[in-house]
């Protein structure tokens, strides 16, 4: 079964990719069934790989968030126009997809032997593969850590203002979206984090600072300063878990961003205070590169654009601290 199933799984991702549609999970049934129906591969809009194992409404909830980039949740999905319940095993890291494929084969083999034991099979196989699924890079580096804390501090602001329902709809940065936060149809927020003296930020792509007539775009700059009495990443996460109702969505986004709860103790000695918060409404006069920087269209040969923007000269014109929070949350300063 193993060799043939590996080929089926690897071919299946390509077939699922050909069926992708915006806002939907493309699925492909597999020749292995649980007691409810066929297992399926799923490919979401972000490109994450899912193994979907159907269960009925009476099946116990199966969850596991201990691995950094492979998670298990029980969720409802609409497949072929019908709401169905699945145990969803998802891998967020492209560099782990090959290892994840092998884990998927092991899961399918276990389900084939025990179709009614979905929860037990998932728990057993995930435990066997947990260490192999840990990324070799280990914990977040300094730049990545500060960047994540900066985004979470903005998420705190939004949660305090009652603007966070489903976390994954609001905090879109971990999904590789152009902007870190999506607030309804009308507003986007991009967050950059620097050290105590920093002002240079990296802009990814021509869409990140591209103003649009049908939405408002806010650029936020979080300045973090190391401090023994400051907050660590786990401290910020703990606060957010009390502020947001959607803890499952929060855990999913944290995993995509590279944070595993099992590594919390490894981050506790790195603490920061927010010394400044700046925010700008990005309009046509804001310095940037975007699609309008080209006389005609962006040449097909330009596969990607990344540039640095020095915000030092713009800080006198920024909303700061409390006013910056108002601009982020409401799109204006009263």
Question: What does the DSSP assignment read for 134-180?
Answer: S-TT-S--HHHHHHHHHHHHHHHHHHHTT--SSHHHHB-GGGT-SSS
Q: Is 46 helix (H, G, I), strand (E, B) or coil?
A: coil
Q: Is 233 helix (H, G, I), strand (E, B) or coil?
A: helix
Instruction: Give the separation between CA 28 and CA 150, rounded to whole angstroms.
Output: 38
Provide the pLDDT for residue 136: 46
Closest CA to 31 of 111, 122, 86: 111
Instruction: Give the separation between CA 74 and CA 85, rounded to whole angstroms.
Output: 7
Provide the pLDDT for residue 216: 92
CB 245, CB 290: distance < 8 Å: no
CB 274, CB 224: distance < 8 Å: yes
Classify residue 298 by its DSSP letter.
P
Instruction: Give the separation between CA 166 and CA 326, rounded to whole angstroms.
Output: 21
Tokens 């905090």: give the residue. Answer: 171
CB 181, CB 171: distance < 8 Å: yes
Closest CA to 62 of 254, 248, 263, 253: 248
Query: How far is CA 225 from its chain centroid?
Result: 25
Provide the pLDDT for residue 131: 58
Q: Is the dihedral angle over the CA atoms 159, 161, 162, 164 positive or is it negative?
A: negative
CB 125, CB 106: distance < 8 Å: yes
Instruction: Give the separation between CA 254 and CA 204, rounded to whole angstroms.
Output: 21
Looking only at the bridges linking them, the beta strands covering 49-54 and 70-79 are unpaired
Instruction: Give the separation between CA 125 and CA 6, rounded to whole angstroms.
Output: 16
How would you write 274-285 as a 3-class SS string? EEEEEEEECCCC
Provide the pLDDT for residue 138: 66
Q: Is the dihedral angle over the CA atoms 40, 112, 63, 78 positive or is it negative?
A: positive
pLDDT tens per residue across all 334 residues of the chain: 566 888 899 899 988 888 876 667 888 999 999 999 999 999 988 889 999 999 999 999 998 877 767 889 999 988 777 888 999 999 988 878 887 888 899 899 999 999 999 999 999 988 877 755 655 456 888 899 999 999 999 999 999 999 999 999 999 999 888 999 999 888 999 999 999 888 999 999 888 999 888 889 999 999 999 999 999 999 999 999 999 988 878 988 888 888 877 788 899 999 999 999 999 999 999 999 988 888 777 777 777 889 999 999 999 999 999 999 999 999 888 7
pTM of the predicted structure, to 2 decimals? 0.67
Alpha-carbon separation of residue 55 from 32, 61, 117, 118, 232 (angstroms): 14, 10, 10, 8, 39
Provide the pLDDT for residue 301: 79
Instruction: Give the separation between CA 221 and CA 113, rounded to whole angstroms.
Output: 53
Instruction: Give the separation between CA 169 and CA 167, rounded to whole angstroms.
Output: 5
User: Between vectors from CA 157 to CA 152 and to CA 163, what angle results, nearest 5°?
Assistant: 105
């Amino acid at each position: 079964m193993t060799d043939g199933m590996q080929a089926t799984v690897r071919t299946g991702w390509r077939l699922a990719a050909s069926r992708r549609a915006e806002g939907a999970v493309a699925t492909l049934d597999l020749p292995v069934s649980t007691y409810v129906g066929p297992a399926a591969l799923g490919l979401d809009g972000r490109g994450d790989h899912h193994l979907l194992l159907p269960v009925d409404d009476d099946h116990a909830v199966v969850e596991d968030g201990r691995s950094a980039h492979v998670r298990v949740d029980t969720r409802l999905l609409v497949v072929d126009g019908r709401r169905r319940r699945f145990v969803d095993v998802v891998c967020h890291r492209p560099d782990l997809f090959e290892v994840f494929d092998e884990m998927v084969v092991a899961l399918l083999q276990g389900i084939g032997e025990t179709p009614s034991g979905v929860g037990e099979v998932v728990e057993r196989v995930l435990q066997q593969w947990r260490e192999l699924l840990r990324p070799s890079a280990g914990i977040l580096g300094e730049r990545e850590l500060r960047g994540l804390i900066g985004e979470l501090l903005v998420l705190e602001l939004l949660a305090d203002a009652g603007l966070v329902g489903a976390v994954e709809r609001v905090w879109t940065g971990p999904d590789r979206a152009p902007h870190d936060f999506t607030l309804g149809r009308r507003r986007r927020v991009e967050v950059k984090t620097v050290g105590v003296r920093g002002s240079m930020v990296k802009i990814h792509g021509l869409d990140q600072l591209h103003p649009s007539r049908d939405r408002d775009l806010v650029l936020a700059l979080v300045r973090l300063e190391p401090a023994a009495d400051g907050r660590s990443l786990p401290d910020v996460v703990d606060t957010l878990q009390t502020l947001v109702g959607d803890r499952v969505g929060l855990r999913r986004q944290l995993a995509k961003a590279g944070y595993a709860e099992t590594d919390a103790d490894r981050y506790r000695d790195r603490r920061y205070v927010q010394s400044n918060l700046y925010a700008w409404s990005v309009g046509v006069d804001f310095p940037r590169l975007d699609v309008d920087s080209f006389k005609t269209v962006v040449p097909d040969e330009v596969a990607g654009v990344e540039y640095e923007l020095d915000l030092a000269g713009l800080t006198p014109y920024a909303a700061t601290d409390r006013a910056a929070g108002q601009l982020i949350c409401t799109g204006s300063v009263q």
